[in-house]
Amino acid sequence: MMRLPAFTYLAPPTVAEAARAVVEHGGEAMLVAGGTDLYPNMKRRQFEPKVLIGLGAIRELRGVSGRAREGLRIGPTTTLTAVARHPEIARHYGALATAAGLVSSPQLRNMGTIGGNVCVDTRCNYYNQAYEWRKAIGFCMKKDGDICLVAPSSSRCWAVSSSDTAPVLWSLGARVRLVGATGERTMPVEALYRDDGIEYLAKRPDEVLADILLPPADGWTSAYLKLRRRGSFDFPVLGVAVALRIEGAVVRDAKIVLGAVASLPRSAPAAASALVGERLTPEVITRVADLAAGPAKPLDNTDYAHFYRKKMTRVFVARALRRLGGLDGEGRAEEEVA
């Protein structure tokens, strides 16, 4: 059996106490919410914290509040199932409900939280393997080794940001509030990410993600498309999040953010600004989709060939825009290609 390494478990009742507990235990402690990312990683000995600080008992971290008109607050320990089914989210922040509902499997969505999804570990074919497998190939720098097996001459790790909700939250203009042992700060969700497969989060270990804040939804529509091999279980190997504010038939504001193409979500600002002032005609869509594929530089370290994932970026951006423009309302939000 693949068992968890030994740890002690704390369940503080408040965010402040959770943050203090991380500091008290130095580098030995980690936060855990649903555990659906952390426990498999611990079983594979990618993390071996001596102390786990469970966030499940903290009431202030749970639930969704507010109205789309003023903006919503999502508590980070809200499960992905609850986010996907929340009527206000589904109606006004559609891409977020879609993305949450496409994470892994129904059981994992009942356990996994949106906060854990925002902070989910980066992935790589050479890393998401059992300890013995990694040992047999001599380990890599993300854990236990010192070189990168995908790019051996590289001094950094290229593991891939694989969160479904992160690109969507960025495209929707979400902000996050972090509470640490010595204070708190609120920032745009994209400021949470670093372009590094190992140190992929720009937050201190004691900082607890305490709020996910969505701006007023006024006039925005959104879509999320996910590429993966099977229709369930699989992480995205490409995620495309598009949010548009359309007045009349003219795009007034646009955001396009790509997931699973780099160690952090990548926005496509040139493509987004090429949409502003335009109608969603087939010609505009083709031009914007070409521009959007520019920032996608997938490496050969996830499922599917990287050139195929790059090519699919253009296809998926075009599909998302067609859907939002009402050019084809049909079809599924996810793509499975055998």
Partner 1 sequence: MKTRLSLTVNGETHEVLVPVHKTLLEVLREDLGLTGTKHGCELGECGTCTVLVEGEPVLSCLALPVEMEGRAITTVEGMAEGSTLHPLQQAFAELGAAQCGYCTPGILLTAQRLLEDNPVPTRTEIKEALAGNLCRCTGYTKILDAVELAALRMGRQPAAGR
Ligand X SMILES: Cc1cc2nc3c(=O)[nH]c(=O)nc-3n(C[C@H](O)[C@H](O)[C@H](O)COP(=O)(O)OP(=O)(O)OC[C@H]3O[C@@H](n4cnc5c(N)ncnc54)[C@H](O)[C@@H]3O)c2cc1C
Residue 96 or 264: the one with the smaller Cβ distance to ligand SF4 is 264
Q: Please give the residues from 224 up to 283 whose contact with partner 1 meets the rule CB under 8 A.
A: 231-233
Question: Which of 74, 80, 82, 157 contacts ligand SF4 by CB under 6 A?
Answer: 157
Sequence-distant (6+) residues with CB within 8 A of 80 are 100, 101, 103, 108, 109, 112, 113, 114, 117, 165
Query: Which residues, listed in sequence order, are joined to residue 32 by a DSSP beta bridge?
Result: 54
Task: Indicate whether 159 belongs to the interface with ligand SF4 (CB under 6 A).
Answer: yes
Q: Quick one: what does residue 56 bind among ligand SF4, ligand X, partner 1, none, with the CB cut-off 5 to 8 Å set by partner type?
A: partner 1
Give the 3-state secondary structure of residue 127. coil
Total residues at the site for partner 1 (CB under 8 A)? Answer: 29
Instruction: Find tokens 């936060």 and name the residue.
Output: 31
Task: Indicate whether 2 belongs to the interface with partner 1 (CB under 8 A).
Answer: yes
Task: Indicate whether 56 belongs to the interface with partner 1 (CB under 8 A).
Answer: yes
Residue 338 burial class via C-beta count within 10 angstroms: exposed 0-12, middle 13-18, buried 19 and up: exposed
Q: Please give the residues from 58 up to 117 whose contact with partner 1 meets the rule CB under 8 A.
A: 81, 104-108, 110-111
Task: Indicate whether 51 belongs to the interface with partner 1 (CB under 8 A).
Answer: no
Of 205, 187, 277, residue with least CA distance to 27: 205
CA distance 320 to 7: 45
Q: How far is CA 132 from CA 36, 102, 198, in A?
A: 21, 31, 20
Give the 3-state secondary structure of residue 315. helix
Task: Indicate whether 148 belongs to the interface with ligand SF4 (CB under 6 A).
Answer: yes
Task: Indicate whether 131 belongs to the interface with partner 1 (CB under 8 A).
Answer: no
Question: Which of 22, 25, 46, 76 contacts ligand X by CB under 6 A?
Answer: 76
CA distance 33 to 20: 17
Query: Given the rule CB under 6 A, which residues bind ligand X?
Result: 30-38, 40, 55, 76, 80, 103-104, 108, 112-113, 115-117, 119-120, 162-164, 208-209, 233-236
Query: Given the rule CB under 6 A, which residues bind ligand SF4?
Result: 124, 126-127, 140-142, 148-150, 157-159, 197, 301
Query: Given the rule CB under 8 A, which residues bind partner 1?
Result: 1-9, 11, 35-36, 39-40, 43-44, 54, 56, 81, 104-108, 110-111, 231-233
